[in-house]
């Protein structure tokens, strides 16, 4: 086999796989979003009514804005705490580094439903925190019971592990001796972090942020089982169109908007980013 | 002295990387720490830099005890073997980094960066990123970053190890020139004796965490203080033997029946087992004759290796049961492989050490 | 002690404190329900009245058993699919993509940046509305494998990123056939990557709710069953289920840890470096 045939095969097969099972479904979603659903039936009639509904009806806009606010707060917090945790492991972990890093993976690999169940055990009205408070004779913290705060904590809990893992993996690829060099040339601990460590891990940081932000935007579980009656988030509302409401086309339009939103966020971040300034030197061996 | 290490040791669990080192370095000296890999020379340099804390001892720079100071407060600079340029910064920014840390004015930074780019012929490359430069260019930026800082001392950790030979020799000359220009001490770590010889005022030979000798470069080469130095510095052949007689003019050494005269006696006693080193370039060759000659051995030329202006003769000396090497200028008589010759040297050529201390 | 050493100590203390709190936050709920799963007084099991009844109930329940089996089939299937395609993609990417590498990375990583629920919904639209195929385990496998594909590729690519392909050429120069080269040189070097990609894909799709949910129709999996049960309030069996899954995941990661510790598996590229004192 020539180099070219191999290239076509090895890159073409996965590409075809992704086109069939990833791109095509997203196109279907887009197509569906321009049709109509009436009483659990599809009406094949091109229109943009779904988009008008989502973008003008107060409830959906509220969900969208609320989702954005919650997602930004949660992702910023998760990225910040993720940095501290990953940096602490990387710097002080010594020979336990691997163990400490893997410990973050346990919750990540225990599915979301089961973790939401665990969180209910922690935060619920008779959960660990409030149960203990009541046992000691204190009033339970209402903010933790079926509220936006609880739903936010849930999202933070769900996506913190991925933030830590991504930032840690990024740190692993950092040459520590560059920090030594910075110190030799007069940079103190904090200064060398700002000058060297952070910029060289900026890509990892942004990926960590994105991998928190995107699932937060579309979260269905945390707001549903931990959030309160005023805690409906966009993703949850979208999922309802496919479940209880049976308004698939509207749901599809919501999905397209969510997709565009994620895309916009990624493109925006990527366009602000000068890869050269993050020490990027190209893929693979050159 | 401008820089002193006093009783410096560094121990890791069971390993002693640096063992009771005392060194004092003058303000305008170029000093090399020469030793094989794993000898502890790099650890010593990192202790001076503040990247390692010594287990015991003190480091003084310009009269100040800096043992407890972190690297960034020591006012030093360093050139690394792997260059360690900041990959996310341009050449200009890399050069400016130490100056920004010193909070110099913009004008001062610009003029010093321009100066460094000028002397290191980096003009026109200022806005490139390190990975867009060749190895030699990266090396010059790394050197420039050390020079612009006007440090109290510049530490160089095998800075030329990743360059090819020609470039290395060019850089040796330049590095020595900058040292004289700046008038600050350079401490240069290397395992390459040629580099150490070509640049240094003094050389500290490091082995197993200890300083074997710290002396003028010619002293280290011509009068090795220990068997380790005799073996490590310069190229030489060595033989094991026994002292047969000692006199005021030197000693006679018996090497498997061959009698040699050594004019240095180094406090030897008759009957003592010794190692004798003869530097390759001190071994002379002549065609076999019947006239007797002191310190001569009949040999056969096994192989000849040409090294530019010199020829290296690999000699088989059946009487010694050993091989020895003679390096001769090619302007001398040319011998051919297989020829029977006589190797000889003057009585003061060999260096002799008690055998128990041999490396 | 100098001020700078004191400052360094304080920074270290603070960072480690945050790290410790993070672990507490992450594991407290898991430990809590772990205890609750074995306690009669499961809502607030302090002190716990130990019992194995809940766990026994769960294992006796037919629905749980069917769901477990379905989840396992689903996980296995999509792990196989994801590993096969991501292996091909890794080779293509690292060896044959040339100057197009950025474009392919973008395409192959894109599924990570699309929310799971969107993947599920889109796939169900394609399958259900356009192809008229009712949801089943196969379609759920395929949809899940897409998400796992990107993770698997990420894991393998980070491990093989610095692999020296000249080793392959060296093997061929010494007379190895392409097949021999693969089995003698390439496979021994990549199998840790393959295995970790496979295991991680398996765990991910085993536990997945949001992708599978829209594609499975009436077929229950553990997460969808748990989701259904959760709607009617917490049951102790759910705690037991979560605990069992946690333990299994924990054991698998412990095995990976041992493999990594003994040097058979590497995660991310880590050249030998002298340590910094920071």
Taking one residue from A and the other from C, the number of pairs with CB-CB distance under 8 angstroms is 287
Both B90 and B194 in a single domain?
A: yes
- Would the pLDDT of A204 be above 80? yes
Whether residue B197 is predicted with pLDDT greater than 90 in this model: the reply is: yes
The partner residue sitting opposite B88, judged by closest CB among A185, A187, A277, is: A277
Res. B359 pLDDT band, cuts 50 70 90: very low
Rounded CA-CA distance B211/A153 in Å is: 60
pLDDT attached to residue A285: 38
With an 8 Å Cβ cutoff, are B70 and C4 in contact?
yes
Q: What pLDDT was estimated at residue B265?
A: 64
Q: Which domain covers residue B175, as residue numbers?
A: 3-228
Query: Could you tell me which chains touch chain B, where touching means 3 or more CB pairs under 8 A?
Result: A, C
**Interchain contact A103–C (C-beta under 8 A):** yes
Q: Which residues of A sit within 8 Å Cβ distance of B?
A: 175, 177-178, 180-189, 191-192, 195-196, 199-200, 276-279, 281-282
Confidence of residue C1 (pLDDT cuts 50, 70, 90): low
Min Cα distance C112 → chain B (Å) is 27
- At C173, which CATH number? 1.10.3720.10
CA B39 to chain centre: 12
Residue C253 lies in a domain: yes
Query: CB distance A188–B72 less than 8 Å?
Result: yes
Q: Is residue C106 part of a domain?
A: yes
Is A118 in CB contact (< 8 Å) with chain C? yes
Span B237-288, pLDDT tens digits: 988 889 988 887 788 888 888 888 888 766 788 888 999 999 999 999 988 8
Pairing of strands B56-61, B64-65: antiparallel
Torsion of CA C137, A237, A119, C38, to 10 degrees: -40
Q: Which of C2, C276, C277 sits opposite B68 (nearest CB)?
A: C2
- Do C66 and C189 lie in one domain? The reply is yes
The DSSP bridge partners found for residue B340 are B300
Q: Do B68 and C277 touch (CB under 8 A)?
A: no
What is the number of other CB atoms lying within 10 angstroms of the CB of residue B205? 27
Residues B210 and B78 grouped into a single domain: yes
| Shortest alpha-carbon distance between residue B204 and chain A (Å) | 23
C chain contacts of residue A88, beta-carbon cutoff 8 Å: 15-16, 18-19
- In this structure, the number of other CB atoms found within 10 A of the CB of residue B102 comes to 16
* B244 lies in the same domain as B211: no
User: Chain A: nearest CA to C249, how far in angstroms?
Assistant: 6
Nearest residue to C30 (alpha-carbon basis) of A149, B331, B320, A120: A120
Among A residues 255-274, those touching chain C with beta carbons less than 8 Å apart: 255, 258-259, 262, 266
Res A243 pLDDT > 80: no
CA A282 to CA B131: how far, in whole Å?
10
On whether residue C172 sits in a domain, the answer given is yes
Question: What are C85-117's pLDDT values in tens digits?
Answer: 999 999 888 888 878 888 898 899 999 888 888
User: Looking at the complex, does the CB of residue B77 fall below 8 Å from at least one CB of chain A?
Assistant: yes
B78 close to A (CB below 8 A): yes
Both C18 and C44 in one domain: the answer is yes
| Nearest-by-Cβ selection for A89 from C19, C88, C273 | C19
Residue C277 placed within a domain: no
A residues 215..244 contacting C (CB < 8 A): 215, 217-218, 220-221, 225, 235, 238-239, 242
Nearest to B82 by CA among C123, C11, C272, A231: C272
pLDDT higher than threshold 70 for residue A53: yes
Subunits with 3+ Cβ pairs within 8 Å of A are B, C
Query: Is there a cis peptide before residue A243, judged by omega within 30 degrees of 0?
Result: no
Asked whether residue C119 is domain-assigned, the answer is yes
**Could you tell me if residue C273 is inside a domain?**
no
Q: Which pLDDT tens digit goes with each residue over A149-178? A: 889 999 999 999 999 999 998 898 889 999
The token duo for A205 is 């940081």
What are the Cα distances from residue B235, in Å, to A14, B191, B202, B327? 59, 14, 19, 9
The answer to whether residue C55 scores a pLDDT higher than 90 is no
Which of C5, C276, C277 has its CB closest to that of B68? C5
Three-state secondary-structure class, residue B134: coil
Rounded CA-CA distance A60/A235 in Å is: 10
**In terms of C-beta density within 10 A (0-12 exposed, 13-18 middle, 19 or more buried), how is residue B298 classed?**
middle
Q: What is the CATH number of the domain that holds B180?
A: 3.40.50.300
Residues of chain B with pLDDT > 90: what percent?
64
Q: Which chain B residues touch C271 with a CB distance below 8 Å?
A: none
- pLDDT (mean) for A58-82: 93
Do C82 and C21 sit in the same domain of this protein?
Answer: no
Count of domains for chain C: 2
Does residue B196 share a domain with residue B97? yes
Does residue A27 carry a pLDDT above 60? yes
Of residues C145 and B356, which shows the higher confidence score?
Answer: C145
- B54 and B199 part of one domain: yes
Do B173 and B250 fall into the same domain? no
> What's the CA gap between B117 and B303, in Å, rounded?
48
Are residues C156 and C83 part of one domain? yes
Query: With bands split at pLDDT 50, 70 and 90, how would you rate the model's confidence at C46?
Result: confident
Q: Indicate whether B132 and B91 sit together in one domain.
A: yes
- Asked if residue C257 and residue C123 are part of one domain, the reply reads yes
Interface test with A, best of B12, B78, B101 (most A CBs within 10 A): B101
Query: Quick check: C93 and A193 in contact, CB under 8 A?
Result: no
Q: Is C5–B51 a contact, with Cβ atoms under 8 angstroms apart?
A: no
Is the CB of A184 less than 8 angstroms away from the CB of B51?
Answer: yes
H or E stretch at B144: helix B135-148
Q: Which residues of C touch B52 (CB under 8 A)?
A: 277
Based on the fold, state whether residues C33 and C129 are members of the same structural domain.
no
Cβ of B86 within 8 Å of Cβ of A186? The answer is no
Give partners of C (≥3 CB pairs < 8 A).
A, B
Same domain, B195 and B120: yes
User: Which of A178, A184, A281 lies closest to B78 in CB terms?
Assistant: A184
Mean confidence (pLDDT) of chain A: 87
Final residue of a structural domain among B182, B206, B228: B228
Q: Are residues B246 and B189 in the same domain?
A: no
Is C2 part of the contact surface with chain B (CB cutoff 8 Å)? yes
Residues of chain A contacting C209 with CB distance shorter than 8 Å? 111-113, 221
Separation CA B36–CA B55 (nearest Å): 22
Query: pLDDT per residue over B84-124, tens digit each?
Result: 999 999 999 999 999 999 999 999 999 999 999 998 889 99
CA distance A58 to chain C (A): 23
Task: Report the gap between the CA of B51 and the closest CA in chain C (Å).
Answer: 6
* Residue where one domain finishes, among candidates B228, B251, B272: B228
Residue A284 sits at the chain C interface (C-beta within 8 Å): yes
Interface test with C, best of A3, A8, A22, A246 (most C CBs within 10 A): A22
B323-333 pLDDT tens trace: 899 999 988 87
Exposure b/e, A24-51, CB count within 10 A at least 16 = b: bbbebbbbbbbbbbeeeeeeeeeeeebb
Q: In terms of DSSP H, where are the helices of chain C?
A: 3-37, 53-60, 62-91, 101-109, 116-124, 137-160, 166-173, 178-181, 187-207, 210-213, 222-231, 236-261
**C6 with C143, same domain?**
no
Q: How far apart are CA C197 and CA B8, in angstroms?
A: 49
Q: Per-residue pLDDT for A131 more than 50?
A: yes
Q: Are residues C40 and C95 in the same domain?
A: no
Domains located in chain A, CATH noted: 49-278 (1.10.3720.10)
C277 touches chain B (CB under 8 A): yes
Cα-based distances in Å from C192 to A162, B276, C77, C199, C250: 22, 54, 20, 11, 19
Do residues B224 and B202 share a domain? yes
Q: Which domain holds residue C217?
A: 62-261
Q: Give the mean pLDDT of chain B.
A: 90
Nearest to C278 among A127, A172, A189 (CB): A189
Q: Are residues C12 and C80 in the same domain?
A: no
Looking at chain C from residue 7 to 46, which residues have their Cβ under 8 Å from any Cβ of chain B?
A: 8
Torsion sign across C-alpha atoms B109, B110, B113, B114: negative
Residues C6 and C26 in one domain: yes
In a shared domain, residues B196 and B240: no
pLDDT in tens, C204-235: 899 888 888 888 877 888 888 888 888 887 77
Between CA A63 and CA A71 the distance in angstroms is 12
Looking at residue A283, its pLDDT comes to: 53
What is the total count of domains within chain B?
2
In this structure, are B272 and B196 located in the same domain? no
Report yes or no on C3 lying in a domain.
yes
Could you report the per-residue pLDDT of B119-151, keeping only the tens digit for each? 888 999 999 999 999 988 999 999 999 999 999
| Rg, Å, chain C Cα set | 23
In angstroms, the Cα distances linking B250 to A110, A231, B276, B318 are 83, 99, 13, 26
User: Is residue C160's pLDDT more than 80?
Assistant: no
From the list B3, B43, B26, the residue with the least C-alpha distance to B210 is B43
Let me know whether C8 and C125 are in one domain: no
* Residues B101, A186: C-beta atoms closer than 8 Å: yes
Q: Are residues C15 and C72 in the same domain?
A: no
pLDDT, residue C264, reads 59
Of B194, B228, B262, the position where a domain reaches its end is: B228
Residue C275 has pLDDT above 70, yes or no: no
């Amino acid at each position: 086999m020539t180099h070219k045939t191999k290239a076509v095969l090895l890159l073409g097969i996965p590409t075809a796989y992704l086109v069939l099972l990833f791109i095509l479904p997203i196109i279907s979603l887009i197509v569906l979003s321009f049709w109509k659903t009436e009483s659990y039936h599809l009406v094949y009639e091109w229109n943009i009514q779904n988009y008008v509904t989502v973008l003008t009806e107060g409830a959906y806009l509220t969900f969208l804005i609320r989702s954005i606010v919650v997602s930004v707060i949660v992702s910023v917090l998760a990225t910040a705490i993720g940095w501290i945790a990953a940096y602490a492991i990387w710097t002080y972990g010594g020979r336990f580094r691997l163990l400490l890093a893997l410990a973050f993976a346990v919750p990540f690999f225990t599915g979301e439903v089961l973790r939401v169940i665990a969180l209910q055990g922690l935060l619920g009205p008779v959960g660990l925190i409030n149960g203990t408070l009541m046992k000691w004779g204190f009033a339970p913290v209402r903010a933790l019971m079926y509220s936006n705060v609880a739903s936010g904590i849930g999202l933070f809990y769900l996506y913190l592990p991925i933030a830590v893992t991504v930032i840690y993996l990024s740190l692993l690829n950092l040459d520590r001796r560059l920090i030594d060099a910075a110190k030799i040339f007069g940079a103190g601990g904090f200064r060398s972090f700002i000058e060297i460590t952070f910029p060289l891990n900026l890509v990892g940081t942004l990926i960590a942020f994105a991998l928190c932000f995107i699932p937060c935007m579309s979260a269905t579980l945390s707001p549903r089982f931990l959030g309160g009656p005023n805690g409906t988030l966009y993703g949850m509302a979208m999922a309802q169109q496919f479940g209880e409401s049976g308004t698939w086309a509207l749901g599809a339009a919501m999905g397209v908007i969510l997709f565009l939103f994620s895309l916009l966020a990624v493109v925006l971040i990527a366009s602000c980013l000068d890869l050269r300034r993050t020490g990027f030197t190209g893929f693979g061996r050159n | 002295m401008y820089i002193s290490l006093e009783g410096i040791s560094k121990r890791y669990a069971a390993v002693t990387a640096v063992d009771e080192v005392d060194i004092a370095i003058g303000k305008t000296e170029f000093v090399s720490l020469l030793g094989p890999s794993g000898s502890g020379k790099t650890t010593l340099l990192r202790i001076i830099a503040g990247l390692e804390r010594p287990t015991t001892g003190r480091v003084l720079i310009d009269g100040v005890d800096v043992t407890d100071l972190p690297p960034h407060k020591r006012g030093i600079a360093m050139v690394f073997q792997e260059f360690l340029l900041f990959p996310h910064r341009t050449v200009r920014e890399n050069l400016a980094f130490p100056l920004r840390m010193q909070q110099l004015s913009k004008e001062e930074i610009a003029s010093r960066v321009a100066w460094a780019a000028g002397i290191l012929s980096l003009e026109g490359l200022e806005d490139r990123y390190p990975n867009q430069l060749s190895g030699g260019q990266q090396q010059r930026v790394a050197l420039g970053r050390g020079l612009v800082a006007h440090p109290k001392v510049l530490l160089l950790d095998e800075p030329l190890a990743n360059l090819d030979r020609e470039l290395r020799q060019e850089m040796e000359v330049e590095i020595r020139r900058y040292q004289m220009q700046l008038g600050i001490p350079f401490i240069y770590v290397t395992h390459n004796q040629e580099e150490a010889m070509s640049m240094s005022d003094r050389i500290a030979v490091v082995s197993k965490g200890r300083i074997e000798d710290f002396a003028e470069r010619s002293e280290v080469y011509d009068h090795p203080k220990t068997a380790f130095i005799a073996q490590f510095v310069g190229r030489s052949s060595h033989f094991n033997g026994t002292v047969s007689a000692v006199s005021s003019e030197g000693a006679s050494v018996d090497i498997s029946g061959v009698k040699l005269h050594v004019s240095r006696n180094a406090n030897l006693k008759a009957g003592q087992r010794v190692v004798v080193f003869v530097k390759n370039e001190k071994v002379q060759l002549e065609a076999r004759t019947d006239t007797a000659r002191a310190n001569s051995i009949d040999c056969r030329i096994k192989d000849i290796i040409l090294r530019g202006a010199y020829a290296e003769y690999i000699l088989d000396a059946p009487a010694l049961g050993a091989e020895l090497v003679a390096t001769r200028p090619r302007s001398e008589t040319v011998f051919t492989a297989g020829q029977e010759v006589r190797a000889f040297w003057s009585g003061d050529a060999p260096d002799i050490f008690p055998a128990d201390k041999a490396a | 002690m100098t001020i700078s050493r004191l400052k360094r100590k304080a920074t270290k203390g603070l960072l480690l404190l945050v790290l410790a709190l993070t672990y507490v936050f992450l594991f407290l709920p898991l430990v809590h329900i772990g205890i609750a799963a074995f306690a009669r007084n499961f809502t607030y099991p302090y002190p716990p009245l130990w019992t194995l009844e809940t766990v026994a109930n769960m294992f006796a329940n037919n629905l749980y058993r069917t769901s477990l089996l379905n989840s396992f089939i689903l996980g296995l299937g999509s792990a196989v699919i994801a590993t096969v395609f991501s292996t091909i993609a890794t080779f293509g990417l690292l060896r044959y993509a040339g100057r197009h590498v950025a474009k392919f990375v973008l395409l192959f990583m894109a599924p990570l940046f699309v929310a799971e629920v969107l993947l599920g919904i889109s796939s169900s639209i394609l399958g259900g509305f356009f192809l008229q195929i009712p949801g089943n385990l196969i379609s759920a496998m395929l949809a899940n494998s897409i998400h796992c594909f990107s993770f698997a590729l990420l894991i393998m690519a980070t491990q093989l990123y610095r692999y020296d392909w000249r080793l392959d050429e060296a093997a061929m120069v010494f007379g190895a056939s392409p097949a021999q080269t693969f089995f003698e040189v390439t496979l021994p070097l990549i199998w840790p990557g393959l295995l970790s990609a496979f295991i991680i894909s398996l765990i991910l799709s085993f536990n997945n709710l949001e992708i599978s949910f829209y594609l499975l129709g009436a077929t229950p999996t553990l997460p969808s069953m748990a989701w259904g049960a959760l709607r009617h309030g917490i049951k102790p069996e759910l705690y037991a289920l979560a605990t069992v899954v946690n333990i299994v995941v924990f054991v698998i990661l412990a095995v990976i840890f041992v493999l990594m510790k003994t040097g058979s598996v590497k995660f991310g590229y880590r050249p030998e470096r002298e340590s910094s004192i920071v």
